[in-house]
Copies of this chain bind each other. A is one copy, B any other.
Amino acid sequence: MASLKRLLIGKPMETKRLKHEKLPKWKALAVFSSDALSSVAYATEEILLVLALLGTSVFFYSLPIAVAILVLLLLVTLSYRQIIYAFPSGGGAYVVARDHLGTKISLVAGAALMIDYILTVAVSISSGVAALTSAFPGLLPWKVELAVALVLLLMVLNLRGITESATVFAYPTYVFIGFVLVMIAVGGWQLWQEGWHGFTMHEHASTAHMFASGYSLFILLRAFSSGCSAMTGVEAISNGVPAFRPDSSKNAAITMGWMSALLGVMFLGITVLAAGFGVTPTEHQTVISQIGRHVFGNGLLFYLFQLATMVILVLAANTSFAGFPQLTSIMAKDGFLPRSLAARGDRLVFSNGIILLSVLAIALIIAFHAKTHSLIPLYAVGVFLSFTIGQSGLIKKLWNREEGRKFGVLLTVGTGAVVTGIVTLVTMIAKFTQGAWIVIVAIPLFVWMFIRIHEHYKKLGEQLRLDEREWQQREKLLKPKVIIPISGVSKVVAQSVQYARSISDDITALSIIFDEKAEQKLRQKWEKFYPDIPLEVIYSPYRTILSPLLEYITKAEKEADRAPVTVLLPQFIVKKWWHTFLHNQTAIILRFFLIMKKDVVIATLPYHLRE
């Protein structure tokens, strides 16, 4: 086990090696935007899949929906640039809400963010596998297995402690950006040459009728919500401001602008090409891969494009492996999650957070059969909820500032908060039955869990605090009353007796026998070796050791008054693992139950077997 761990995870690292690298803008863009930019691999498809409920005749409406999303992106970007300036130490929605909106709202943000991180892994990996299977359809039956394997790979890499900022991770993002921009340019030119041969604005009476109905409007809203998945991850830069070179806030704000511009161009371009070429979503090929095949043909370029898509999606999933453990460690330090999530492992990473994220993402992937489309409805709610909370926190902060309230900034952020709030509500309603209900149920459950954990730690702290007065009262010394359970006289017993004599002079040997006739023989032998130590023999008609022992201890506790009762239990330490099966493990079971049920000290004496 230990050597397997070393092989996978590597040698432990000293705490001193914890350090933070400062990134130039070009690298920071790649590091922080893989999550946001990779969303273009599925966002357009998600819009079309929802519109398909009304028939392909409405596919053209993906274009106005995309434009609406771009407007939303612009609003959020402007708003988050202000967040970057206001919170130069980063932090994200949880910290912002904790410091400015109170504990309860911060816990909602924490829950939303945790769910988001988990979904980012599940969605990105599922989508990455879809990019792979679009190129190699033979792999389709192994979708779930491939996705699980990728999550496990990310887990191991992150337990080793890859630095997210490694230069090697920056290139694939640019490769993907390059591919998409070239695809949009070439595809646009092809479209110019071939003419628009895809979806058009129909003017049928049926269409007009359709849009009059509430159902159709509802579906359009749902398509919009699905498209909003393009915006997941745009907040990443605002969390990572300290990683930028100084002037870090300014550099981060510039980078954020670039990222949003790239995202907008890529998302709109892909949506236009899909409409222009008339691409319809299918089970076996993603929309973006169909566009890629159309533009690049069926040759090497197409396969490289699919590879690039998969790689950026895996990188996007990887960003959660930095964000989730960071968030849970902060929440654990605040006492809202188990403290073990705040402990750094061998390689200085928050190992437990990494493992927890992997387990939860794998559970989601298996439950939803690695289908991006089934996971998306769970996604947007948390993202937009945390957008809303983050911006509200900033408004509160700006408002509380006595002087220098800037009206323009307040208006920008206020608009952002209101709009993202509305989008959150729209998403909740439009996608409720598709799976958003799961998140709506999960968030309050998470918050309830955080509160319960916090209460436990608080009460525990009070209970364990040592005040001086009480401490002085405790200092009474009484020798322990020692009980040695025996089944015969052997070297093991001799060792126990010797130890018992070294710590006390109130010693009793206790033998629980299953056969009444055994008592006489045992007594004789005992008295030969230990005439000064009383031997109690209890006959157990049901051949159980535990209950007579518990009874005896209850009695002993009363007699001992305030002296601590100590039970000595020997434990054989075997030389070969299989020898374990040859020895009675009663001691281990006894130890477990005694310590659960009684206030006795259990002293375990190892007996290292030579053979």
Q: Does A456 contact B (CB under 8 A)?
A: yes
Contact A609 B489 (CB under 8 A): no
Max chain B CB contacts within 10 Å: which of A12, A14, A600, A606?
A606
- Selected from B466, B544, B601, B603, the residue in CB contact (under 8 A) with A529 is B466
**Are B609 and A600 closer than 8 Å at their CB atoms?**
no
- Is there contact, CB below 8 Å, between B453 and A471? no
Give A578 Cβ to nearest chain B Cβ, in Å. 9
13 A-B contact pairs sorted by A residue (CB < 8 Å)? A15-B514, A15-B541, A338-B582, A339-B582, A456-B582, A460-B609, A463-B609, A466-B489, A466-B494, A477-B498, A479-B502, A479-B503, A598-B606
Query: Closest chain B residue to A571 by CB distance?
Result: B595
For the complex, give the distance between the alpha carbons of A344 and B542 in Å. 10
Which residues in B have their C-beta under 8 angstroms from that of A591?
A: 604
B600 touching A601, Cβ below 8 Å: no
A573 proximal to B (CB < 8 A): yes
* Residue among A468, A504, A582, A598 with max Cβ neighbours from chain B (10 Å): A582
The chain A residues found within 8 Å of chain B, CB to CB, are 12-16, 338-340, 343-346, 453, 456-457, 459-460, 463-466, 468, 471, 474-475, 477-480, 489-495, 498-499, 501-504, 514-515, 529, 541-544, 563-564, 566, 571, 573, 579, 581-584, 591, 595-596, 598-606, 608-611
Which residues does chain B contribute within 8 Å of A514, judged by CB atoms?
15
A503-B480 CB under 8 A given contacts A514-B15, A600-B606? yes
Question: A544 contacts which chain B residues (CB < 8 A)?
Answer: 12, 346
B582 lies within 8 A of A12 (CB)? no
Q: Which residues of B contact A14 (CB under 8 A)?
A: 541-542
Known: A456-B582, A464-B492, A584-B340. A604 touches B606 (CB 8 A): no
Given contacts A475-B498, A479-B503, 4 further A-B contacts (CB under 8 A): A15-B541, A456-B611, A463-B609, A480-B503
Contact partner of A456 (CB less than 8 A), chosen from B543, B579, B596, is: B579
Contact call B460/A480, Cβ cutoff below 8 A? no
Cα A323 to Cα B211 in complex, Å, equals 78
Alpha-carbon gap, A541 to B348, bound state (A)? 11
A502 to chain B, nearest CB (A): 5
Chain B residues positioned under 8 Å from A493 (CB to CB): 466
Give the distance in Å from the alpha carbon of A338 to the alpha carbon of B515 in the complex: 21
* Contact of A515 with B595 at beta-carbon distance under 8 Å, contacts A489-B466, A609-B460 already known: no
| A457 to B, closest residue via Cβ | B582
CB–CB B477/A502 < 8 A: yes
Residues of B within 8 A of A477 (CB): 498, 501-502
Min CB distance A10 to B, Å, is 12
Q: For A504, give the chain B residue with the smallest CB separation.
A: B503
Most buried by B among A479, A494, A502, A591: A502
CA distance A343 to B540 in the complex (A): 14
- The answer to whether A498 and B474 touch (CB under 8 A), given A515-B15, A609-B463, is yes
Contact A463 B611, beta carbon cutoff 8 Å: yes
Give the CA-CA distance A498 to B474 in the complex, in Å.
8
Judging by beta carbons under 8 Å apart, are B606 and A603 in contact? no
**B residues less than 8 Å from A598 (CB atoms):** 606
Determine how close the nearest CB of chain B comes to the CB of A447; give it in whole angstroms. 16
- The answer to whether B502 and A564 touch across the interface, beta carbons within 8 angstroms, is yes
The distance in angstroms between the C-alpha atoms of A280 and B495, with both chains bound, is 71
Residue with the highest number of chain B CB atoms closer than 10 Å, among A503, A542, A543, A583:
A503
Nearest-CB residue, chain B, relative to A568: B601
